[in-house]
Structure 1
Amino acid sequence: MTPLQKAYRYKFLSQCLAYPNEAFIPALNEVLEKIDADRDPRQTLVAAFEREETEPLQAEYTRLFLNGYPHTICPPYESVYLEKRMHGDAAVSVAAAYTEWEISVEPGLIDHLATELEFLAFLASAESLDNTVSENASKASKAFMQQHVTRWVPQFIEDLKAGATMDCYRMLGEVMEKTLAPLSPKS
């Protein structure tokens, strides 16, 4: 898989974690059009999101990721998964990785999974360049996956698949799992 195709896959997953408003499906389709292979699971996922009415979809998103009762099923923050609190040491470490690439992120979203996926998409795009930046981006991507994503996202995915009441979000967990596993660096 080319680095650019890897970037589109990360971008697609990041977009799937956006709040499902009127721009949600068009944004997913825009990225999906750029993916050149193995599109079927992603097309099926987009179709599953499209089948849902907006308000129930927004309610499920809120319950899963923002403020479910009695607890949020799968808050998409590395610090919450690793340290059971917001803005923990994990967020500081993630911010340092962004700073190395001169990327600034809204403070409340530093260790949000969508932001981490966007960063991986950025690095994969940089890998597509044919120069020193490419080599550095490849190393940074592998390090970021190992030091951050692989430490908490597998549990997030399991929680998402187990806790979702809508097929589309269960399917998102499956697509995330199938997408990220082959892209993770081997230990």
Structure 2
Amino acid sequence: MKPQKEDRIALYRFLGICFTYPQENFSEIIHKAIEMAKQPYRNLHDHGYKITGIRNLKHGLDELSKLTLNEWQGIYTGLFIANYPKTPLHPYESFYKDGLVGGEVSDQLNEIYKSCGLEIFDEREFPDYLTFELEFGAFLLENEENCKPIFAQFFFDHLFEWIFSFFDDLTNTKEAPLFYKSLAQIGNSFLTKEQKVLKELLNEN
């Protein structure tokens, strides 16, 4: 029995939400996202997705929920945006492929999005930003028939080529809170199986 597409879409969206920059009521948003992801998580587990990290994610969320929004935003900024003398993590495909954020890889992603009728409205971020790619993964699963020509290109030439390295780096970053390390664990275990499932689905077509 194949995993339901809706459950896979839910996990992509869940990860995308959790990796976004913390805003007002972010703790409540994440709690709701966890509740919404519970059933898809169980369904996927029954279909061979051995996703790990949800329990630790809840503990990590409890820790961050005790902070002010400014403190949480400071942690996110220090991990992913800017820090001195060196920002520990760069959630951008271009960094993992070229060592710099932006450039050709980012332009390629922008063209892929446009080919499916999408545009990046947040000009503060590059098209190859982690949360954009996760959300686009969900979009492609929802619109597989209309975007089939770039389906394999996005997943196998872009998302899967860098995201596991990012998750490994996040897991091994000492200063990363439990919440973000748990997200890396969830993402790694989910997308490792997802990569195999997508290969099988593409080979069938």
Q: TM-score, normalization: structure 2? A: 0.77
1:2 correspondence with 2:4: yes
State the superposition RMSD in angstroms.
Answer: 2.3
1:109 correspondence with 2:126: yes
Letter in 1 for 2:152: K
Match of 1:150 among 136, 141, 160: 160
| Structure 1, gaps ≥5 residues long | none
Alignment: residue pair count: 180
CA distance in 1 between counterparts of 2:10 and 2:56 reads 17
Q: CA deviation at 1:42?
A: 3.2
Letter in 1 for 2:193: P
CA distance in 2 between counterparts of 1:147 and 1:22 reads 35
CA distance in 1 between counterparts of 2:8 and 2:93 reads 22
Contact kept in structure 2, 1:20 and 1:61, CA below 8 Å: yes
Aligned to 1:12: 14
Match of 2:184 among 158, 173, 183: 173
Q: CA deviation at 1:47?
A: 4.0
| Structure 2, gaps ≥5 residues long | 43-51, 201-205
- Overall identity of the aligned pairs, in %: 26
Aligned to 2:41: 38
Q: CA deviation at 1:95?
A: 0.8
Higher relative contact order (CA 8 A, sep 6+): 2
Alignment deviations for residues 139-170 of structure 1 (CA, whole Å, 9 cap, x no partner)? 64432111111211111111111114221121
Which consecutive segments of 4 or more residues in structure 1 shift more than 4 A? none
- Structure 1 window deviating more from structure 2 (97-106 vs 14-23): it is 14-23
